[in-house]
Amino acid sequence: MKKWWHDKVAYQIYPKSFYDTNGDGIGDLKGIINKLDYLKELGIDIIWLSPIYCSPMVDQGYDISDYYNIDPSFGTMDDMETLLKETKKRNMYVIMDLVVNHCSDKHEWFRKALEDPDGEYGEYFYIREGKGNKPPCNWRSYFGGSVWERIPNTNKYYFHAFAKEQPDLNWENPKVKEEIYKMINWWLDKGLAGFRIDAIINIKKDLSFQDFEADGDDGLCDMSKMLEKVIGIGDMLKELKEETFDKYDAFTVGEVFNAKEGELYKFIGKDGYFSSIFDFDMEVLGQEQSNRWYLNKDFTTNQLRDVIFKSQIEALGIGFKANIIENHDEPRGASRYIIDGECNDISKKALAIIEVMRRGIPFIYQGQEIGMTNNKVDCINKFNDISTIENYDRAIKEGFSKEEALRLVNKFSRDNARTPFQWDNSINAGFTKGTPWLQVNENYKEINAKLQIDDKDSVLSFYKKLINLRKSNEYKEVVVYGEFIPDLEAYDNVIAFYRKGANKCLMVIINYQNKEQIINFNKTYKILINNYKDLKFVNNELMLKPYQGIIIEIL
């Protein structure tokens, strides 16, 4: 059955770094309203806002102290309502980040829990007695250290999967669930189109809290060990959607890393828990353990191609994944998926084809469309992100030199994607008239939106072309619903596939390497999109230039 969101294109805004209108160095809701026409022009339908709720910002808004209000640094509820009105006018939709695995330690529920751990609000969290002088078990939080934090003057500990300022909410408590459902419906009633659902796979814990074998020098073990084993998340997610999203035909995207093999249909199938889930297969390539970046391995283009194919095929006949090449937790796609020294407008356009032409819902992250790249930071103190600093410290504890640790966090830091949006070549890239909360990438004079808007050969214009193709009357059906069929796998470093629809068949061929590649080819075709001016085709041979990417219609 067709759904309203199937043919849409989504865009993630990281509000703090998008556009600042009052000179405090922090992007705001008015800034987003100001740039809606830019997004509309790009072809965006759905905007996902990273959290803008009240927050002490220990984890940039992913620590919420009040779910019903807007953090003053972003604006007011009036601004939010204006944003909803202005998007509606433009036939655009807004989804917000739903962060309900945990809240902030400043949330009133948690403050009350600390006052009386054995009382009603203690039950809103996971509070357990320590084992002798030690925490209840040896699981490692995603941001390092134990998942348990001792409550002062007691032998009780509370559970936090992320930072200690992000206590996990107790999803086994019906009252907590009721509060969460009420809050979700309150927002949907306001006119939100849905949610991106944060860290949701963590809501189900194995309540036996037993130790696992340590996998690091810290004597702790990755939480994934527990998540792989625990059962029962399905019931929670089913109830969640029935009590909320279903009633509104909302669009939901789950941040799900650990869907078990063969269980995708439960998440995004016809009666799935969510409309879609992110495809993180490219992002976790080479990753040894969650959030221990210094252990990450390099990967080849063939490996990259293989994970893309595998993930695409997995979703066929089941549902639609949300396709990304970067987000606010990841390095810039152009820096991660293009070899250093080969990153240029041509290769960025090749990557853009992968973003938009996979089957699923494209989610473009702010700045991706102009080819923003990783930032270079020369000193650990210049990072802001909690996870970056923690990774650096841990790498050093585990024996890496300071230089090596700095190099590695530069490569993977979440701040790479969080530097301010580069609007133009004026001071601070036109992001703010004040002092930006995070250093602007120094390449803003070469990479900015203003330079690219009127340049028909820019990365930005190329994204527009791709989105236009996806939305055109002629090719919409095949780009949105067409099957995904891999091809040319015998060629190294070539990423090629068909999108086969009811009446049309498109083929994507990308020579994803810095040298020419000849490909035997005996089909009749029409070129729809090409990141070079021409395409050499002689005697049944396609001669692809370095990083040449084409979309052709097979006739």
Binding site for ligand TEU (CB under 6 A): 59, 62, 99, 142, 162, 198-199, 255, 257, 290-291, 328-329, 387, 414
Q: In whole angstroms, give the CA distance from residue 481 to residue 465.
A: 19
Q: Cβ of residue 74: shortest distance to Ca ion, in angstroms?
A: 8
Q: Cβ of residue 426: shortest distance to Ca ion, in angstroms?
A: 17
Q: Which residues contact 323 (CB under 8 A, 6 or more apart)?
A: 279, 355, 358, 360, 361, 362, 363
What residue has token string 């595998």?
310
142 interface partner picked from Ca ion, ligand TEU, none, CB below 5 to 8 A per type: ligand TEU
Q: Cβ of residue 289: shortest distance to Ca ion, in angstroms?
A: 37
Q: In whole angstroms, give the CA distance from residue 128 to residue 339.
A: 48
The single-letter DSSP state of residue 116 is -
Residue 238 burial by CB count (10 A; 0-12/13-18/19+): exposed, middle or buried? Answer: middle
Helix-strand-coil split of the chain, %, nearest 5? 35, 20, 50
62 interface partner picked from ligand TEU, Ca ion, none, CB below 5 to 8 A per type: ligand TEU
Does 26 help bind Ca ion (rule: CB under 5 A)? Answer: yes
Sign of torsion, CA 411 351 363 322?
negative
Please identify, using beta-carbon distances, which residue of 276 and 422 lies nearer to Ca ion: 422
198 interface partner picked from Ca ion, ligand TEU, none, CB below 5 to 8 A per type: ligand TEU
Q: Which residues contact 433 (CB under 8 A, 6 or more apart)?
A: 20, 23
Q: Cβ of residue 526: shortest distance to ligand TEU, in angstroms?
A: 41
Does 289 help bind Ca ion (rule: CB under 5 A)? Answer: no
User: Exactly one of 28, 71, 168, 255 is catalytic; which is it?
Assistant: 255
The residue number whose beta carbon is nearest to Ca ion equals 28
Instruction: Count the Cβ atoms, other than its own, within 10 Å of residue 436.
Output: 20
Does 28 help bind Ca ion (rule: CB under 5 A)? Answer: yes
20 interface partner picked from Ca ion, ligand TEU, none, CB below 5 to 8 A per type: Ca ion
Strand extents, DSSP E, 216-262: 221-222, 251-254
162 interface partner picked from ligand TEU, Ca ion, none, CB below 5 to 8 A per type: ligand TEU
Q: Which residues contact 415 (CB under 8 A, 6 or more apart)?
A: 375, 377, 383, 384, 385, 388, 438
Please identify, using beta-carbon distances, which residue of 201 and 357 lies nearer to ligand TEU: 201
Does 10 help bind Ca ion (rule: CB under 5 A)? Answer: no
149 interface partner picked from ligand TEU, Ca ion, none, CB below 5 to 8 A per type: none
The residue count for binding Ca ion (CB under 5 A) is 5
Cβ–Cβ under 8 Å, residues 278 and 365: no
- CA distance between the termini of the chain: 28
512 interface partner picked from Ca ion, ligand TEU, none, CB below 5 to 8 A per type: none
Please identify, using beta-carbon distances, which residue of 23 and 399 lies nearer to Ca ion: 23
Cβ–Cβ under 8 Å, residues 517 and 509: no
Characterize the bridge pairing of strands 93-98 and 46-49: parallel
Q: In whole angstroms, give the CA distance from residue 431 to residue 420.
A: 6
Does 20 help bind Ca ion (rule: CB under 5 A)? Answer: yes
99 interface partner picked from ligand TEU, Ca ion, none, CB below 5 to 8 A per type: ligand TEU
User: Exactly one of 28, 45, 168, 198 is catalytic; which is it?
Assistant: 198
Strand order across the 541-544 sheet:
517-520, 541-544, 536-538
Please identify, using beta-carbon distances, which residue of 69 and 289 lies nearer to Ca ion: 69
Q: Cβ of residue 50: shortest distance to ligand TEU, in angstroms?
A: 8
Reference 244, options 186, 316, 164; nearest CA is 186
8 interface partner picked from Ca ion, ligand TEU, none, CB below 5 to 8 A per type: none
Look up residue 417 and give its two tokens: 């994607």
Does 24 help bind Ca ion (rule: CB under 5 A)? Answer: yes
22 interface partner picked from Ca ion, ligand TEU, none, CB below 5 to 8 A per type: Ca ion
Q: Cβ of residue 86: shortest distance to ligand TEU, in angstroms?
A: 26
Please identify, using beta-carbon distances, which residue of 416 and 548 lies nearer to ligand TEU: 416
Q: Cβ of residue 51: shortest distance to ligand TEU, in angstroms?
A: 8
Please identify, using beta-carbon distances, which residue of 276 and 291 lies nearer to ligand TEU: 291
From 6, 7, 22, 500, residue interacting with Ca ion (rule: CB under 5 A): 22
Q: Cβ of residue 60: shortest distance to Ca ion, in angstroms?
A: 15
Could you tell me which residues are beta bridge partners of residue 529? 551
Angle between helix 345-357 and helix 459-471 axes, rounded to 10 deg: 20
HEC string for 50-77: CCCEECCCCCCCCCCCEEEEECCCCCCH
Instruction: Count the Cβ atoms, other than its own, within 10 Å of residue 318.
Output: 15
Q: Cβ of residue 393: shortest distance to ligand TEU, in angstroms?
A: 15
454 has catalytic annotation: no
Question: Coil, helix or strand for 230?
Answer: coil
Please identify, using beta-carbon distances, which residue of 162 and 195 lies nearer to ligand TEU: 162
378 has catalytic annotation: no
Please identify, using beta-carbon distances, which residue of 150 and 411 lies nearer to ligand TEU: 411
Please identify, using beta-carbon distances, which residue of 51 and 436 lies nearer to ligand TEU: 51
Stretch of residues binding Ca ion (CB under 5 A), selected from 13-21, 247-255, 264-272, 486-494: 13-21
Stretch of residues binding Ca ion (CB under 5 A), selected from 26-34, 180-188, 443-451, 468-476: 26-34
CA atoms within 13 A on the CB side of 97: 26
Q: Cβ of residue 412: shortest distance to ligand TEU, in angstroms?
A: 7
Cβ–Cβ under 8 Å, residues 460 and 453: yes
Please identify, using beta-carbon distances, which residue of 57 and 350 lies nearer to ligand TEU: 57
Q: Which residues are catalytic?
A: 198, 255
Positions in the binding site for Ca ion (CB under 5 A) = 20, 22, 24, 26, 28
